[in-house]
Amino acid sequence: MPSPAEQRLATPTRSQFETAQPEAAQFEDASARVMKRAVELAACTDLEGGLQRLFCSPAMQETHRRLQGWMHAAGMATRIDAAGNLIGRRAAAAGGGRSVLIGSHLDTVVNAGRFDGTLGVLLGLGLAELCQQAGASLPVSLDVIGFSEEEGIRYQSPYIGSRALAGDLRPGDPLLERLDDGGVRLADALTHFGCDTAELNTAAYAASDVAAFIEPHIEQGPVLEEAGLPLGVVTGVAGQTRACFRFTGEMGHAGTVPMALRKDPMPAAARFIVEVEQAAKRRPGLLATVGRLELTPNVANVIPAEVAVRLDLRHIDDSERETGFVKVHRAAMQIAKQAGIGCRLEWCEQQAATVCDAGCQAILGDAIAEEGLPTHAMASGAGHDAVVMANRFPSGILFLRCAGGVSHHPDESVSQADVATALRVLWRALLKIADREPQPAGGLATRA
């Protein structure tokens, strides 16, 4: 069996086998189902009046229930793996065969839009239903994946589900000990969700079992809309550094401690946050965000004992991002020293910039071209599960235009027409990937 490196999808050859094709109307119907289900799944939320679906939450349980119902109706077998990922499988015609994985994440940010992540799972499901309707006979299995945690909201750590599928989350991993805001261990959240963390090894796909991973996802930016294009092919994903700086001082009464005697961590944290913004503005391509502060005790008339600053740093060039982090890390320590307070870097998670598999890019590009559309290659500033999956499997990302580039917001939206186009492109891409597979003994109907 070829090594993972040799498995990289070469530029695809012509199709080797005939298979029934869905009717044009079936793609339209499938796109209507995607839009309707996106509305339905947006009702699976942990948040009154908005969409928030966290790792291993009741809303995630309800989302799994509904998706499994649709998957079973499409003739798919389903399972929840030890990391809380939902997997629906349409088996290869002749059994065995490698798998084509298509999907994205089912968790969301707080007060989220209904398409970030979820759309990729619904497109994979739509493709499986089109296969069923057409009676397609493929030499590959189609595995539709709903990852359990990509955003990293509940445990401040992204890509938990995809790390398990890629074999990077094993029993005993220190991450399993991390606590959420309610003091619940990550391992206990999985256990309560019905998962057995001792089985995490079984969540991993072997590289030799996967032909490719394709992640359909909204662009979350304005480029495709400004170009007047429905779809784009992602060339690479910016690297990310996520870190937590804890500034510590002396708690005190807001009304009695003279200013000159204070050891208040808040002004220091504020100077650090301004410095983070300035450092990013000085370094082209560096994006720096402080989106979360945690104050102890977080009471208006008490000088804080501690201010935790959570930093998100990104750049398409890893050395630029790492240099930027070294500078802001140094600045944090200097600012704290000048203020006479403490500061420690509590933790830092790095995700290198990722180049999408050339073969997957070519297959998606050719599929778009066969739809009579220009092929637009573009980088992604947003992170995706594909960055983790690419460590082990040939991985590609298909971007869909989203209105105004709005995302991580209730106004996030896509058009049904673009969804239908994406389904047609994904169908073509699936056949192209299947074409690359050795035909099963006895073979399938082949082209003349």
Nearest to Mn ion of 162, 421 (CB atom): 162
Three-class SS of residue 209?
helix
232 lies in the binding site for Mn ion (CB under 5 A): no
Bridge pairing between strands 210-218 and 395-400 = parallel
Q: Which of 121, 148, 150 is closest to 214 using CA atoms?
A: 121
Q: Mask of contacts with Mn ion, 112-141, x by CB under 5 A?
A: ----xx------------------------
Q: How many whole angstroms separate alpha carbon 13 and alpha carbon 431?
A: 11
Separation of alpha carbons 326 and 350, rounded Å: 13
Under rule CB under 6 A, residue 150 binds ligand HGY: yes
Contacts with ligand HGY in 156-215 (CB under 6 A)? Answer: 158
The answer to whether 81 contacts ligand HGY (rule: CB under 6 A) is no
Q: Residue 383 binds which entry of Mn ion, ligand HGY, none, with Cβ cut-offs from 5 to 8 Å by kind?
A: ligand HGY
Number of residues that bind Mn ion (CB under 5 A): 2
383 binds ligand HGY (CB under 6 A): yes
Q: Are 109 and 408 in contact (CB under 8 A)?
A: yes
Binding window for ligand HGY (CB under 6 A); candidates: 150-158, 222-230, 265-273, 358-366: 150-158
Q: Tokens standing for 393?
A: 């499997």
Least separation in angstroms between residue 240's CB and ligand HGY is 7
Site track for ligand HGY across 212-251, x = CB under 6 A = ----------------------------------------
Q: What's the closest the beta carbon of residue 106 comes to ligand HGY, in angstroms? A: 13
Please pick, from the candidates 140, 382, 397, 414, the single residue that binds ligand HGY as defined by CB under 6 A.
Answer: 382
Specify whether the CB–CB gap between 303 and 249 falls below 8 A. yes
CB of 343 to Mn ion, least distance (A): 29
CA 132 from centroid of its chain's CA atoms: 27
Number of amino acids touching ligand HGY (CB under 6 A): 5
Nearest distance from C-beta of residue 382 to ligand HGY, angstroms: 4
In the bound complex, what is the minimum distance in angstroms from residue 371's beta carbon to ligand HGY? 27
The letter for the amino acid at 321 is R
Q: Does 221 bind Mn ion (CB under 5 A)?
A: no
221 binds, among Mn ion, ligand HGY, none (CB under 5 to 8 A by kind): none
Dist CA 103 CA 81 (whole Å): 15
**Of residues 88-117, those binding Mn ion (CB under 5 A):** 116-117
Q: Is 275 in the site for Mn ion (CB under 5 A)?
A: no
Residues 6+ apart with CB under 8 A from 292: 310
Query: What is the DSSP annotation of 298-363?
Result: --TTEE-SEEEEEEEEEESSHHHHHHHHHHHHHHHHHHHHHHT-EEEEEEEEEE--EEPPHHHHHH
Judge whether 378 and 232 are in contact, CB under 8 Å: yes
Which residues are near Mn ion by CB under 5 A?
Answer: 116-117
Which residues are near ligand HGY by CB under 6 A?
Answer: 150-151, 158, 382-383
